[in-house]
Amino acid sequence: MMKKNAPQQPVEAALIKNADELVRSYPAVPLTVDCVIFGFEENKLKVLLIKSDLEIFENKLSLLGDRVLDDEELDEAAYRILKERTGMNDVFLDQVRVFSHPKRHPGGRVITIAYCSLLNINHHELKIHDHDLHWHSVASLKEMAFDHKEIVDYCYQWLQKRIQEHPLGFNLLPEKFSLRELQNLYEAILGITLDRRNFRKKFASMDLLIDIDEMEQDVPHRPGKLYKFNFEKYERNKRKWVGIDF
Amino acid sequence: MMKKNAPQQPVEAALIKNADELVRSYPAVPLTVDCVIFGFEENKLKVLLIKSDLEIFENKLSLLGDRVLDDEELDEAAYRILKERTGMNDVFLDQVRVFSHPKRHPGGRVITIAYCSLLNINHHELKIHDHDLHWHSVASLKEMAFDHKEIVDYCYQWLQKRIQEHPLGFNLLPEKFSLRELQNLYEAILGITLDRRNFRKKFASMDLLIDIDEMEQDVPHRPGKLYKFNFEKYERNKRKWVGIDF
DNA sequence: GCAAAAGTGTTGTCCTTACACCCATGC
DNA sequence: GCATGGGTGTAAGGACAACACTTTTGC
């Protein structure tokens, strides 16, 4: 167990009137951000992992994480890590939850904030392969370092819910995609099968896909039409959803 | 600005193989939990607030917050604060989000995790009135200490969404309640008016209310029937919701 | 008897589901 | 010509929205 720098139970907080003094009386905790970066390839949901540096974890798999720097916002930290590891700017990123179990890190107490991001594997070739950075199928994940398996599981559930209510999936696909690819994505993430005709009708009625008048190339069957997602229109008419349902 | 105890940019993390050493290389950040405790009274959503201790905030309103103790889980910290301030155990509590702006606390960097809880005002008389603890209408909240206004606003939005998908509202009502009280609750929180017949039909079809065969007392009009919420049945048949909708 | 809220049903619309056949392309 | 997936319509059922009158109680 590491020693803390601030006194454990300092002068009664209720009496402190000075902000600096009050803050100095708080225990300080090392803080990290872990990025759960999902991708989609071969009709499988994947997550970007490395092998842990730490001896204690041998070669166990680990999320991309890093300390939060002094005076760095958490969101910034997550974007920084994503950029350092993948070269990517300008992608989707969302805070999911804090993981705070006192024994989650073997080196002493460390609290981590999990961020989720989604990206299109084919658009972002991995240039850095340090620590055996690679895409790993989510379904076949076994043991991981720290509590990272728990974090991935939680983020996956978060994604399942989120993708039904927000157009996140398009961040996992190429800019131009076929309806089949879109349906495969939903089926893989939600772990269900969907009726093809109803799926297409649903998206047709939303009227958020732009028919770009191109066809798939080099497929061993009848080529499908390609679409783009109409992000502007979606942003303009965001649905204000009201309905009690549980 | 306070000084940090850990070196700002320490030895290259990639080279550290020892967990303790790695953790010591992380900047440590003072951590607090803030509880946004909602209640419902006089058909208005209220939140439990105190006046800030700090000179810099004079008498500005503040959430119930406290440091996180060494080796305390965040959830535990939130329950502890709730208990210290209200005497309550065994209520609903949920982590909402981290607020991490480097300048959010005038005494230096402090990161706070917001927790939401809901309780029935009439079941929990306030025994402690330190710091002018009181229920404040959410609608008429103006300035607050720190970024607490932002936190309350965020938690209120979180609640609006959450109450539509989970039976949270019952934590704000007495154990026995009338359909009118339930509807008033939803209308107040969502800021809309609902059709009375459709509202009753909806809850009737869910079949999650237990008719306890009692009537309202001492009302200046025809008394309504009283119900309890069937938490067991709800837990047994939790809905697995699938539906793309955005 | 009057004020105030409780209680109750029907209809139209829309959304969801289930389901089967022909078409275009590569090989 | 055959294998593979692309593309399409309809009918039934369920959920939701709109809407008005009678009943019970306190005063």
pLDDT, tens digit, 9 for 90 and up, residues A170-186: 999 999 999 999 999 99
Which of B21, B23, B182 to mutate against chain A (most A CBs within 10 Å)?
Answer: B23
Q: Is the CB of A221 under 7 A from strand D?
A: yes
Mean of pLDDT over chain A: 90
The 3-state DSSP class for residue A76 equals helix
Q: What is the mean pLDDT of residues B12-26?
A: 81
User: Chain A: nearest CA to B213, how far in angstroms?
Assistant: 25
Q: Is the CB of A178 under 7 A from strand D?
A: yes
* Chain centroid, CA A158 distance in Å: 9
What's the confidence (pLDDT) of residue A9? 45
Structure tokens given for B6:
């850990």
Element spanning A99, H or E: strand A93-99
Confidence check: pLDDT of A3 > 50? no
Q: Which of A67, A100, A243 sits opposite B164 (nearest CB)?
A: A243
Q: Is the CB of A224 under 7 A from strand D?
A: yes
Q: Which residues pair with B111 in a beta bridge?
A: B31
**Binning pLDDT at 50, 70 and 90, where does residue B15 land?**
low
Min mean pLDDT across A160-169, B77-86, B136-145, B163-172 is at B77-86
Q: Which of A27, A54, A234 sits opposite B17 (nearest CB)?
A: A54
- The fraction of chain A above a pLDDT of 70, given in percent, is 92
pLDDT tens for each residue of A158-174:
999 999 999 999 999 99
**Which is nearest to A155 in space by CA: A40, A38, A73, A32?**
A38
DSSP state for residue A4 in the 8-state scheme: P
pLDDT tens for each residue of A57-90:
988 999 999 999 998 999 999 999 998 888 877 6
**Which is nearest to B184 in space by CA: B38, B37, B42?**
B42
Confidence check: pLDDT of B7 > 60? no
What's the confidence (pLDDT) of residue A88? 77
User: What pTM was estimated for this model as a whole?
Assistant: 0.91
DSSP state for residue B146 in the 8-state scheme: T
Q: Is the CB of A55 under 7 A from strand D?
A: no
What's the confidence (pLDDT) of residue A4? 41
| Span CA (A201) to C1' (C20), Å | 17
Find all residues with CB under 8 Å of B149, minimum gap 6, and list them. B141, B142, B143
- Spatial separation of the C-alpha atoms in residues A190 and A184, rounded to whole Å: 10
Which residues, numbered 155 to 174 in chain A, qualify as contacts with chain B under a Cβ-Cβ cut-off of 8 Å?
163-167
Mean of pLDDT over chain B: 90
Q: Which of A95, A111, A165 sits opposite B245 (nearest CB)?
A: A165
pLDDT tens for each residue of A108-123:
999 999 999 999 887 7
Domains of chain A in start order, with CATH, are 31-164 (3.90.79.10), 172-240 (1.10.10.10)
Cβ of B108 under 8 Å from any chain A Cβ?
Answer: yes
- Spatial separation of the C-alpha atoms in residues B119 and B66, rounded to whole Å: 20
| Span CA (B179) to C1' (D20), Å | 20
What's the confidence (pLDDT) of residue A7? 44
Residue the block writes with tokens 């509807």: B183
For residues B27 and A110, is the Cβ–Cβ distance under 8 A? no
